C-alpha cells in the first residue's frame, strides 16, 4: 500500500472516530437533558399540591378586601351623613343667633360688616352668661 493510501485510511479512521465521539457526546447531552426535564417535572408535581391551597388563600384575601371596601364605603357614608348633620346643626345655630341678634336692640344687623358669631368649638364660652364675646353694634 502506498503512502497516500495510508494517509487517506488514517484520515478516514480519524473522521470515523471523531464522528463516533461527536455522536456519543450528543447522546450523553440528550440523556442529561432528559434527566433534567424529568427532575423539573418531579419538582412541578411536588409543588402542584400547593396550588389549590394558594388559590383558596387568594380567594379569601379577595373576599376580605371586598368586605373592607364595603365597610370603608359605609364609613364614608356615615361620615358624609355626620357632616351633613353638623352643617345643618350649624345652620340652625346661626339662624338662632341671627334671630337673637334681630331681637337684641344692642346689635345692628343692618351694618355692612354684620355677621353672627357662628364658630363653635370646645373653648367657645360666648353667650353662656351674656357678658363674654364682642358684638358688633
Give residue limits of the domains in the chain.
Answer: 49-104
Q: Write b or e for each residue in 109-120: b if 16 or more Cβ atoms lie within 10 A of its Cβ, otherwise e.
A: eeeeeeebbeee
Q: Mean per-residue pLDDT for 2-14?
A: 92
Residues 6+ apart with CB under 8 A from 98: 109, 116
The number of CA neighbours under 13 Å toward the Cβ of 99 is 6
pLDDT given at position 76: 97
Q: What is the pLDDT of residues 81-112, one digit of tens each?
A: 999 999 999 999 999 988 988 888 888 888 88
pTM of this prediction exceeds 0.75: no
**10-48 pLDDT tens trace:** 999 999 999 999 999 999 999 999 999 999 999 999 889
Q: Which three cell numbers stand for residue 15?
A: 473522521
Amino acid at each position: 500500500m502506498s503512502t497516500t493510501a495510508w494517509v487517506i485510511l488514517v484520515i478516514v479512521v480519524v473522521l470515523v472516530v471523531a464522528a463516533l465521539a461527536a455522536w456519543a457526546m450528543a447522546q450523553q447531552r440528550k440523556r442529561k437533558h432528559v434527566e433534567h426535564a424529568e427532575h423539573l417535572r418531579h419538582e412541578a408535581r411536588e409543588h402542584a399540591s400547593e396550588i389549590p391551597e394558594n388559590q383558596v388563600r387568594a380567594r379569601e384575601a379577595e373576599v376580605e378586601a371586598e368586605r373592607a371596601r364595603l365597610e370603608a364605603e359605609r364609613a364614608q357614608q356615615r361620615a358624609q351623613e355626620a357632616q351633613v348633620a353638623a352643617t345643618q346643626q350649624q345652620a340652625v345655630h346661626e339662624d338662632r343667633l341671627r334671630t337673637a341678634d334681630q331681637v337684641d336692640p344692642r346689635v345692628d344687623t343692618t351694618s355692612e360688616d354684620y355677621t353672627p358669631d357662628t364658630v363653635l368649638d370646645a373653648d367657645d364660652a360666648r353667650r353662656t352668661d351674656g357678658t363674654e364675646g364682642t358684638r358688633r353694634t
